[in-house]
Amino acid sequence: MPTERTVAWLRNRYADLLRLYPRPYRERFRESMEQTFTDLWRDEREAGGGLFRFAVWMFFETSVGILKERWRFLLMRNANVVRLAVVVGLILLVPLVAMQFTDEAAWTAFDFAFAAALLFGTGFAYLLVTGKSRSIAYKAGVAIALLSGFLLIWVNGAVGIIGDEHNPANLLYGGVLAVGLIGAAVARLRPRGMSHTLFAMAVAQLLVPVIALVVWTASFSEPPGMLGVFVINACFAGLLAGSALLFRLAAEQADLRNA
Amino acid sequence: MPAKANAPLTPAVLHILLALSAHERHGYAIMKQVEADSAGKVKMGPGTLYGSLARMIEAGLIRESDRKTDPAMDDERRIYYRITGLGQRALSAEIERYRQVVALGTRKRPVANAFVFRHAD
């Protein structure tokens, strides 16, 4: 027969376990659940049941409940982040499945990790930046800016824009991203500042092939060639300028609201 | 989010609503009532019970009542739960659904027997 001390110790451990519930749930039910523990143990003892079996059942059943509530809480609080993680997982299934059928897709574990980090990071940045904004123009501006950054990293990582992916000229694109990051920090993500930042990024994007042409002239003999490089950069600059215009629109709308 | 009165209920929610249909009860008393109502077939643990209670409060099917002692038990003050009007309607709708299923099953039984009979040949 277990001593009162053993039962009290177990009840305290059960109280510790209940701390793992999300706070709102814990505040509402902790006391009742501790009372229920005592009630159920009294029933078990009267029925001649053992403490060990009772404890295993209680701790297991409650742990399952904690996992369910934690998951629910996570979904409720971070529904968009969970959705994003699921979408990233589904996207990564495409190369994973393709690898089973063709040798054309040969991703390493690093490739998957890199793609997951890039996709999730881009999506998470969007959620983070647009979380408090109701402006469609602002949201669209952020989406296009992030998409441009994502594509810039992806294309450079995969094949490179100037020459191949190992060509040092492609490192200049890091400067475009740096302009974006510094500009966004200085502008504190406010639409007018973001508009200036994105225009600066577009200019930096157009400067990259010009600088590369001066320093690494030979690189332009490789595919996609000089015209190809300038066209690709013009496309990126167009996206960045489009994003800048959307930020400008969002700033003007904000000015009108505040007027 | 409030529930719709005619939305189907999970077995745990149905049993809890049945246990609360007559009068208010605290968590442990709900467990015992569910066990008694189901002749010992349904035994709810605290994780299941309080998880269901949380969702039912959120859906407006039940609400927390006063905190008081249970005269049949110790002198600890306990939170009681009471069924709401929405909970009553949801319970009635669920019972009606079960009634229709039983009626359908009763009507279909001869056909099912005939099917078994034909294959037995």
Q: CA-to-CA distance for B103 and A165, rounded, in angstroms?
A: 71
pLDDT tens digit sequence for B30-44: 999 999 999 999 989
Q: Do B28 and A35 touch (CB under 8 A)?
A: yes
Let me know if residue B119 belongs to a domain: no
Let me know if residue B68 belongs to a domain: yes
ipTM of the complex: 0.81
pLDDT at B72: 76
What value, to the nearest 5°, has the Cα angle with vertex B40 and ends B35 and B41?
A: 105
Residue B53: its chain A contacts at CB < 8 A? 29
| Test mutation, A32, A38, A56, A67, chain B, max B CBs within 10 A | A32
Contact B102/A at CB under 8 A: no
Q: CA-to-CA distance for A166 and A79, rounded, in angstroms?
A: 39
pLDDT at A123: 93
Report how many Cβ contacts below 8 Å link chain A to chain B: 55
- Length of chain B measured in residues: 121
Q: Which residue has the tokens 């200049």?
A: A172
The sheet carrying B25-26 orders its strands as: B25-26, B77-83, B62-69
| Domains held by chain B: number | 1
Let me know if residue B112 belongs to a domain: no
Let me know if residue B62 belongs to a domain: yes
Residue B28, domain extent: 11-91
The CATH code of the domain that includes B63 is 1.10.10.10
Q: CA-to-CA distance for B20 and B37, rounded, in angstroms?
A: 11
pLDDT tens digit sequence for A207-245: 999 998 888 877 777 777 778 889 999 999 999 999 999
For B45, which of A25, A29, A62 is closest by C-beta distance?
Answer: A62
Q: CA-to-CA distance for A101 and B7, rounded, in angstroms?
A: 45
Run of H or E including A60: helix A51-77
Run of H or E including A197: helix A191-215
SS3 A47: coil
Q: Under 8 Å CB-to-CB from B33, ≥6 apart: which residues?
A: B19, B25
Tell which residue, A39, A51, A71, A147, has the closest CA to residue B35.
A39
Q: Residue B3 above 70 pLDDT?
A: no
* Domain chopping of chain A, boundaries: 4-76, 78-131, 132-259
What is the average pLDDT value for chain A, to the nearest integer?
90
For B27, which of A32, A63, A68 is closest by C-beta distance?
Answer: A32
For A36, which of B27, B51, B54 is closest by C-beta distance?
Answer: B27
Residue segments in chain A with a per-residue pLDDT below the cut of 70: 1
pLDDT at B2: 54
Does this model's pTM top 0.90? My answer is no
Q: Residue B121 above 50 pLDDT?
A: no
